[in-house]
Amino acid sequence: MPFFRELASVFFLKQDATSDDVIQSGQSALVILYGGETGESLDQLRYRKFNHKVLTNSLSCVHVQSLPPTSEAASQHCKRAYYQIQEWTNDSVHMLSPSDWGWVLQGTSLCPIRTILPPAPDNLLHVIRCKCKSGCDTRRCTCRKNGLDCSSACSECKGLNCSNCKVLEIHEDEDDSDI
């Protein structure tokens, strides 16, 4: 894992790393640790892992703590980790301001900034999904009742085999003489 060592060196060897260097190296390291693919961003990995859990999980919800962190939460964590490592290993840490490195002063205590973004976009916080056991063909279906097609978030049908899923239109060429 020479690439991982290179990423970690920013935290341990580079006393004058910029916030952007720390964030980029830290997020790349997290992608590796969470089994991401080469060139994949942390948010892409999180989305891919979420979709995998939705499609393979028999539970009605995905526990967010089982996913990689968002890029913003990871950014704050990486900055805090860099600051802490510099404090432990260097005499020059007094030149770093904790408020620039993922910490906020509350009273006399430093508290971590977990993220500066809301937990999810408003439209995702109100996602509607059903738990229909058969067909989704009545108004008991939460999706149908709200005028929505079933989706991969639905616990039983997964938006695939029900009467309330989006039908893909397949357009065949009118001229089949090529066959």
pLDDT averaged per 10 residues, the chain (length 179): 76 85 94 93 94 76 84 96 88 79 92 82 69 87 82 82 68 49
- Please give the pLDDT value at position 93: 53
Q: Is residue 179 part of a domain?
A: no
User: What is the dihedral sign for C-alpha 84, 87, 93, 99?
Assistant: positive
CA distance 57 to 98: 40
CA distance 67 to 57: 13
Both 153 and 65 in one domain: the answer is no
Q: Is residue 113 part of a domain?
A: no
Both 65 and 136 in one domain: the answer is no
Domain with 161, as residue range(s), is 127-168
- Please give the pLDDT value at position 30: 95
Both 12 and 78 in one domain: the answer is yes
Q: Is residue 150 part of a domain?
A: yes
User: Is there a contact between 54 and 152 (Cβ–Cβ < 8 Å)?
Assistant: yes
- Count structural domains, the chain: 2
Q: Is residue 119 part of a domain?
A: no
Both 145 and 100 in one domain: the answer is no
Both 15 and 57 in one domain: the answer is yes
Q: Is residue 121 part of a domain?
A: no
Both 9 and 68 in one domain: the answer is yes
- Please give the pLDDT value at position 78: 96
Q: Is residue 90 part of a domain?
A: yes
The pTM (predicted TM-score) of the whole model is: 0.64
